[in-house]
């Protein structure tokens, strides 16, 4: 199973450049694989026409309750670029890392080998920075690392391994898209692909130590925060309900009717 490493790096985020290069070197050395720094799509540099051309609205349940930020659009487009690029490479899978990640070598080595062993069947494996919650199906372990398929998939895109087949599947389902990429991946009742999780994964998010998030905006008025929390709570309830009734295989991989 040949895995190619892509480190997503926003060119204007110069404070993260050294970390991106170090992350790539560590990932390649530990995984014994090829890799590159992939220039992330800068949503803030896109025209309003280009931004709107990528985005739909209420494409599936539950409807995503917030307008997408330019950074979220850019992030999703960056992942879509890599999913498309993978179709033209000899690699069987891609390991996609964000440029604000940090690797613990021993744990990451075990997590990487665990993921590489199972990615052909599971399709999508998150290298999580926090433990999954709720019911899950245990697939395998390696040292302290546990590979599970949770009933309700987590968010965050600090690190993930995706197979060529799963990447093609997600690429087809995300044109257009109506929610951030991690929220799309979470929606296995729609995609038919239930993502697996490795934790601990040997990855930590050090974005705040570098320069903060390149996606999130600043402070909002308290009334807007209150309304966002209301819509977020209702959306999360819909995600929990649909996750419980999803037909995506509980052991990971694709539902038969989804390809």
pLDDT digit string (tens) for 32-52? Answer: 999 999 999 999 999 988 888
Say what the pLDDT of residue 209 is: 83
Q: Which of 3.30.413, 1.20.1550, 1.10.1420, 3.90.550 would CATH assign to domain 3-258?
A: 3.90.550
The pLDDT tens digits of the residues spanning 156-188 come to: 999 999 999 999 999 999 999 999 999 999 999
Q: Phi first, then psi: what are they for 135, rounded to 5°?
A: -60, 145
Tokens of 33: 């694989």
For the chain, the domains span 3-258
pTM here is: 0.92
Token pair listed for 245: 């009734």
Residue-by-residue DSSP string for 121-150: HH-EEEE-SS---S-EEEEEEETTEEEEEE
Total count of residues recorded for the chain? 259
* CA nearest neighbour of 259 among 170, 160, 149: 170
């Amino acid at each position: 199973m040949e895995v190619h490493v892509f480190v997503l790096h926003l060119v204007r985020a110069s404070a993260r450049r050294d970390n991106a290069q170090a992350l790539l070197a560590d990932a390649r050395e530990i995984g014994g694989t090829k890799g590159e720094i992939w220039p992330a799509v800068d949503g803030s540099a896109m025209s309003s026409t280009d931004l709107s051309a990528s985005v739909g609205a209420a494409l599936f349940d539950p409807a995503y309750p917030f307008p997408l930020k330019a950074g979220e659009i850019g992030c999703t487009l960056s992942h879509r670029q890599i999913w498309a690029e993978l179709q033209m490479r000899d690699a069987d899978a891609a390991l996609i890392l964000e440029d604000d990640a940090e690797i613990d070598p021993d744990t990451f080595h075990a997590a990487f080998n665990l993921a590489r062993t199972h990615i052909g069947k599971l399709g999508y494996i998150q290298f999580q920075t926090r433990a999954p919650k709720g019911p899950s199906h245990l697939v395998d372990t390696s040292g302290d690392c546990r590979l599970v398929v949770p009933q309700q998939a987590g968010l965050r895109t600090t690190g993930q391994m995706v197979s060529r087949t799963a990447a093609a599947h997600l690429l087809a389902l995300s044109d257009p898209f109506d929610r951030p990429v991690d929220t799309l991946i979470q929606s296995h009742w729609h995609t038919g692909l239930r993502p697996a999780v490795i934790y601990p994964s040997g990855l930590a998010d050090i974005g705040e130590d570098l320069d903060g998030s390149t996606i999130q905006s600043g402070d909002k008025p308290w009334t807007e925060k209150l309304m966002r929390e209301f819509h977020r709570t209702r959306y999360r309830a819909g995600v929990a309900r649909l996750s419980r009734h999803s037909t995506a295989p509980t052991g990971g991989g694709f539902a038969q009717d989804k390809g």
